[in-house]
Homo-oligomer: A and B are copies of this chain.
Amino acid sequence: MKTRITELLGIRYPIIQGGMQWVGRAELAAAVSNAGGLGILTALTQPTPEDLAKEIARCRDMTDKPFGVNITIMPSLRPIAHDEYARAAMESGVRIIETAGRSPEALMPIFNEVGAKVIHKCTSVRHSLKAEKIGCAAVSVDGFECAGHPGEDDIPNLILLPRAADALTIPIIASGGIGDGRGLAAALILGADGVNMGTRFMATKEAPIHENVKNRLVEANELDTIHLYRTLKNTSRYFRNSIAEQARQIEQEKGAALNIADIAPLVNGQRGRKVYEDGDMEAGVWTAGLAASLIKDIPSCAELLDRMVAEARDIMRSRAKLILDEVA
């Protein structure tokens, strides 16, 4: 399979494993890259830039294929030295960066100095145009379906992808709501050059998270996610467990008067980490996108990618036959 994204990144399949806090470690990133996709380490899962350098070295021991590093730039109580993580990645020889959250503009000189390619995650056409303007090599277009932060516009990928494709000249990666070969083929039809998946990769053999999380994703349906922080204009999609329901309840009671302090103890990141690491499914909130509803098993990354590509090809062949039938 050959698209502008496989060419840009030097990978076999146009399938990227997006950055995921507590999940994007060397085991998963290496497995995805070895399977022909692009694995991505999540910088802020590592406590310091030095730890990120070690994780990059560990990943390189497991794969000789390209992989990337995600740097998420979000407002935070404790200041985070994003530039030091960026330099650590560059000094370790990484040449593909995924940025998310705020604009990566301030970090671009660090990436440009060594010719690294930057993929910025955007939830809107206007942010995508900005990313193109500041020199990003591609954008990952994050639809309403996505886990974590979809922005406040609520535009699903059926609309956002063709709108972005019409507006941009750089390659586009569809992110949010992709979980199988149908989603891959549909994204390419809608104007994307590749897909980004997070939730689907959590339910793989190599994902370094507790089995309970993977099994819960297999059981999930499309009603099992929930949005929090809408009134704070910082909407985020989580798996619908008891803690997320409690936080939502508080949000609804407080309405426009909600303060982050009202729910901070519930949604604390360290509590969420316990879900991933200890498998205590009600320890805290954890992110999952709507693609959870498409997950039916826990394959290896290689099995998953080979199957998705085969499925996309099968559907394309059978649907092309219907669509191209000029007789009727």
Contact = CB atoms under 8 A, between A and B. Distances in A.
B324 A317 contact: yes
Nearest to A323: B316
A319 B255 CA distance: 46
Interface string A137-159: 00000011100000001111111
Contact of A189 (B186, B223, B324): B186
A252 interface: yes
A160 B1 CA distance: 27
A163 B320 contact: no
Contacts of A261: none
A275 B116 CA distance: 53
Contact of A158 (B154, B158, B327): B158
Contacts of A182: 162, 189-191
Interface of A: 1-3, 6, 12, 125, 143-145, 153-160, 162-163, 176-178, 180, 182-183, 185-186, 188-191, 221-223, 252, 255-256, 290-291, 293-294, 312-313, 315-317, 319-320, 322-325, 327-328
28 contacts: A2-B325, A2-B327, A12-B328, A144-B144, A144-B156, A155-B223, A156-B290, A157-B158, A158-B177, A158-B178, A158-B183, A160-B222, A162-B180, A163-B222, A182-B191, A185-B189, A185-B323, A188-B322, A188-B323, A189-B189, A189-B319, A252-B256, A255-B256, A313-B323, A316-B323, A316-B324, A317-B320, A317-B324
